[in-house]
Structure 1
Amino acid sequence: MNGSGQGLLAPGMDRPVNADVNLSARMDRGKISITHLNAAADGVELSGNGSFQMDGRALSGNLSLTADDLSRALAVVGMPSVNGTCNAALTVDGSLNQPQFSLNLHALTLQNQESRIQGNGRLRLLADGGGIDPGFVNALNLTLEKVSAANFTEAPPIDGILDGRLQLGGPLASLTGELSLNASALNADVATIGNIDARMRLDAGTVFVDRLHLLNQDSTFNAAGKIQLLVPDTLHLVQDPPFDFTADSDHLDPGDFIDTVNGDFTFKGMLTGSVEKPVGRISLTGGQVNLAGQSMETISLDARFENRRLWLDRLLAVVAPGEQIEGGGWVDLDKTVDLHVKSDGISTSRIQRLHEFFPGEGMLQVDVTAQGRMDNPDIDGHLTVSDIIINDGTIEDVNLTFSLHDMLVRATETGLPRYADRPGAGGRKHPGCRQRRGTSGP
């Protein structure tokens, strides 16, 4: 039997194709035998043979797919500039109710401009359609050469140049594998990532990060460690995955990655334990910092994970000599907090956002605490501006007490400025209390 089709169109196809089919088959004593099958369309050729026993509904078959030029086939599914080749074999046996498929991908190559992907592999599906056969020795090998996501998809969330190799092998329950990856000029919509050099392994359900090195201009970041995701020799996820990671950086400038923060930071961290019970320490120090337009001489942070809490043992931001902000407290994994921030005196002229609309000079003192749940915290604070001078005239201290409880904001202000020594100034405003709930209007 010979046949052909013109202008064939199926869901997902961008344009119709032409196809030719050649089939030789016979039926004898309830058995249908396909001795020859050949189908060709747009540079892809499918050939094979098989049989079907009508009484027991048993079936068997072999299919071979060969494509010396995938460009036309890929253009049909919306990848007009991608070329490639493919050589694969598919076998099926079992019954019509429970067929078992085995796929052997001998070779696959995809290329677009300088991006090139090569791969091969094999797998077998369960007869009941429940997924990949866990007892079959699977294999997957992928090689990436100068691969850019933009060559294969429009507007990828992350783009750059990838070179690497992935190898996976063994039954699903005891897969082993290795990944080596070199990525350069990585960019995302929100940040410039830079270059990454990674070496990873999979063994006995544990992912080992032997090397993770990030380089962006002069900024560097290094990490290594491991995390156990599967119970050894099973496909069961570990309920509370144990891990052990270290990370450090001798120089990290956030300005190399984002626009809102820059400075010269050093970082060192160690984290071990499990996802539910992490234990570790973090140390961060930065100099010549600019945070969203606010300059600071130094920032330092010492923190630790213990008893399901992130403890901020020390948070210190020095705006100028003798003028600093201190903080501390903890954040619990159950989303509760107990935090405090305090400053004994910072010149208002050094606070960029305040200096933009505050016409004079003064010293700002702040004392704020936050406790309770993150989604409904209890916040209490006191703010004082003292030693105020405007146009060479002294102004009385300003005091503001504020709180947030049950999403209701209350503020009490006293000692608002009286421009006593300023010609033409108005009278003194009276102290009062204002309150607002949530984010509603006044």
Structure 2
Amino acid sequence: MAPAITLAADAPTLSSANTGFMLICSALVMLMTPGLAFFYGGMVRVKSTLNMLMMSFISLGIVTILWVLYGFSLAFGTDSGSIIGWNSDWVGLSNIGLTELWDGYTIPVFVFLVFQLMFAIITPALISGALADRVKFSAWALFVALWATIVYFPVAHWVWGAGGWAFELGVIDFAGGTAVHINAGAAALGVILVIGKRVGFKKDPMRPHSLPLVMLGAGLLWFGWFGFNAGSWLGNDDGVGALMFVNTQVATAAAMLAWLIYEKIRHGAFTTLGAASGAVAGLVAITPAGGAVSPLGAIAVGVIAGVLCAMAVGLKYRFGYDDSLDVVGVHLVGGVVGSLLIGFFASGKGQSDVQGLFYGGGLDQLWKQCAGVFAVLGYSLVVSAILAFLLDRTIGMRVPEDDEVAGIDQAEHAETAYDFSGAGGGAARTNVTGPVADTASKKVDA
């Protein structure tokens, strides 16, 4: 069959509407990283709050610079062996025209690359929740740089880059079930198997210090996730992005309710931590699947993910690995569930005509999903463990035990999250007059 001829008049032209839409989506995805910081920050003990916030925030700095220097080129450049990309014109982003379009789309290359940058930033930040309370900040920063280079950039090429083996195989990952969540969850498991447990794991109470902070973070994540998911269609012309938006809301709601029901049956209470965790589990699971399933399918994805992730978070106590904030239980398990369920619930009426087993498509898509899931899981797990082992044997990954017990915030950042030493008293009340004010003034002077 002769190749189709594309006329100049048919070539994509820059769409200001899609460009603006994608810039807003990029900002929403950027907001997810501070949201994640609050989510994780509220879940740790008070003495680790700032460290947890910083482990997410530092990714904004490190990964941004690496993306500009070479990350975008490795992830989305010209394919080499279906494993990695490269485009020397993209090194330093110095040879990209202002109105140069991303191939086949109506948005500039700059818009696509900044949207994808936000994905690259949040993925290593997700890992940090598994390592709470015990990792040197300098070692963590170096790990982020190495992991992004050796793990994230190649995996992003596999899944989304033209010529990447998973992309060419037909693995469906709308917005990051494999490249983001399985990747980060497997990495978290690999690292914690190397660095070991927190002091007092399974002995001391390690309850969240601020559940309102957790709920705030979960709300910001839910809000930002609409950009994360709907924006991944790179436009708003054919309704697929709108389907993904709807499915994101539906699956998240279903997962939250399922988690809470399971929690009530299993533990006797509906907890705020369960509501926040269930919502995140639903967001994770629908991320790869939302463009392929119907809203009813999204409910099924959410319910299944909510229950299985709620069950999975307890595995760390059974098997003895210290996943501090349940990155493995939520992101790895949720990512696997959402990715594999595409093979069952793909309706053929969303992003493509691919149908899952329950829609008459047989097992064809399911085995493709399995290939993508387990390849990314295995690669990230092994390479992340090797990186952690090498860092631990050279510069050391863990803070000294005394610093961990006393509080990693003070040891690593010379700060504390909450300073109550100046709270109360009349010195700060400028509207006070008379003897009380005079006494307060003398105390301040003293």
Report which structure shows greater RCO (CA 8 Å, sep ≥6).
2
Larger helix percent: 2
TM over 0.5: no
Compute the TM-score of the two structures, normalised by the length of structure 1: 0.19
Find the structure with the greater CA-based Rg.
1
